[in-house]
Amino acid sequence: MSHDKFGLWQLGVTHVLNASHGKLCCKGTDDFYGTTVKYYGVPANDLPTFDLTPFFYPAAEFIHQALATEGKLLVHCAVGVSRSAALVLAYLMIHHQMSLLSAIQHVQKKRWIFPNRGFLRQLISLDQTLQKGKLSISNQANQCILTLDNHTSTKPTENTRGLYLDPGTCSCLSLSSPTQVWQKGAEQTQAGRESQQTHIMSSHKQSQELGRIKQLETILDSCTLELTAVDEVWPGLYIGNVAVAQNKNALCKLGITHVLNAAHSKQGSIGDQRFYGDTCVYFGIPAEDSENFDLSQYFKPAAEFIHAALKAKDGKVLVHCIMGMSRSASLVVAYLMLHQQLRPGAGAQLTQTIRLPTESHGPVVHSEHRPHGHKHTCPEGQADQLYKSGIMTCVNKSRYRNPYAAVRVDPNSDYITPGTLDLEQLFWSGSAPDYTHVDEVWPNIYIGDEKTALEVEALREMGITHVLNAAEGKFNNVLTGASYYSDSDIQYLGVEADDKPTFNMSQYFCSSTLFIHEALRSPHHKVLVHCVMGRSRSATLVLAYLMSKHNLTVVDAIEHVRQRRCILPNHGFLKQLRALDITLQEERLQLNSCKVNEDQQT
């Protein structure tokens, strides 16, 4: 949701608080949202050991200021269950004087949440600090009232309105800004943490705290709201994310009897047999969501667990990881191959029609089904032979379909087309120029924004002869058209594209590339390619042109343009550019092969 700027616009969201800033699957920054949305990032890990308390007051202040402007705020993390929920609870406690229990009950009416135990412990500490502060303030307020009663001639002044009473003293501080509140609260929180670090809690106090955490978890688990991030991909076999796996009420309604956690003991995953008790049979696999991780060692035990579960009376299995897209999907495909005699492509196709796996787990050589599930590996040094013999064809096709996999098209080349997430990382690494209205990114090719496109006289002064509008249309687009430039000699091409990851921009790669290429046949011609901000749609079309007509790889094209302009194509456009990169390499490889054959014949 946080990556869907169109969806945010429809909701009227004006502020975004990202509780997983800089983490995997998270792309939010000020640059990503532009000027339409105010952004604040909290680089939190969803680990019980992570200290979220330094962010309680700044995040609460950001939320408070956003709502004070009658704005709408989205607070999110990867799943929207733990980190983001903890920050919202802290805000309700700090700015709405709710107890932790009241805050949880309030949020539960709208959404199922489940902060990890570490965050619950920190929220309990915040709750205790705030409650002590209220009692102290109440006592001091009574003293102030008595003082005023004893001095009836004293009139209220500005310094006695909106007081912040320091619980540790009898002094009164004027509340000149909300910043003083969170600074004071942050000092109290820091002091509380230092005190906890220097005094070891007694076993009795630890037992009390653990008891309260368990009570809160019981309350959290009693929420009747359900998450929909789960799909039945085979009779009785479900793939879901960690939020569903931790919602025991939802699992009960689905009739889940067995849980296979493909992210056992990993960041963001709290499941084990103790968590599920007698309600579900649990099996954990400590898999990393990394291309370098060998998941094949778990294919057979995972498949056996699923097979035995589905043979049991009324057996239903949930296979999950963090996002329910990669590790879990891979294990389900392996089960379908081993126990349902589905071919690799058929198994993947079945799950993809219902739920799309994402991350790659490194090169896997798909073999024919073996009843005993033997592991087949590619001997080192034989990769070239496999490519030449065509054995890798099915592997390549499978990996090309996976937009997150790195792919080497030419076995004799060092170049590897990165996965989409790796492409995104290019925009976060190194320095980039500041945002401007227009920049020349290639000789006689300019990328600009709406303001640039609307100023016809300025375009004449720049020598622009051709305009490619990548945002033609009525919504979130630039309303120009060929008639807008009719009084000038500017030639125009309009592309009706939405800046959404789901939009198929690749359908315009050919026409826009030809338009730019034909325009630049004359050395005196200059082309402006623009959209609303000049960062996503227009940049994507220019990148496609450089790749198609100047033989740049997608990596080289991105690096070249981003050194000259602040660009950021959306996630979906990067997927399409990656696919174009692979297609162009295949065409060049085939062309070179034909040339070699011709040379040999002559």
Contact 165, 141 (CB under 8 A): yes
Distance CA 190, CA 450 (A): 47
Q: Is the dihedral of CA 431, 432, 433, 439 positive or negative?
A: positive
DSSP, res 154? P
Q: Distances in Å between the alpha carbon of 400 and those of 449, 557, 574, 581, 583?
A: 33, 20, 14, 11, 10
Strands (E), 420-482: 438-442, 445-448, 466-469
Distance CA 284, CA 345 (A): 26
What is the CB neighbour count within 10 angstroms for residue 268? 25
Q: What is the SS3 assignment for 496-548? A: CCCCCCCCCHHHHHHHHHHHHHHHCCCCCCCEEEECCCCCCHHHHHHHHHHHH
Beta strand 15-18 with 38-41 is: parallel
Tokens 């699992």, residue located: 251
Contact 163, 173 (CB under 8 A): yes
What is the CB neighbour count within 10 angstroms for residue 521? 7
Q: CB under 8 Å to 96, separation ≥6 — which residues?
A: 103
Helix (H) or strand (E) holding 362: none
Distance CA 433, CA 352 (A): 40
DSSP, res 228? -
Alpha helices in 284-343 (DSSP H): 299-311, 327-339
Active site residue 510: no
Instruction: List the one residue out of 317, 99, 129 whose CA is nearest residue 219.
Output: 99
Strands (E), 81-177: 163-165, 172-174
Q: CB under 8 Å to 327, separation ≥6 — which residues?
A: 262, 263, 285, 287, 289, 295, 321, 359, 361
Distance CA 581, CA 601 (A): 30
Tokens representing 536 are 């996503």
Tokens 């062309």, residue located: 591
Single out the catalytic residue among 394, 531, 566, 594: 531
Contact 472, 450 (CB under 8 A): no
Distance CA 154, CA 396 (A): 84
Residues identified as active-site: 531
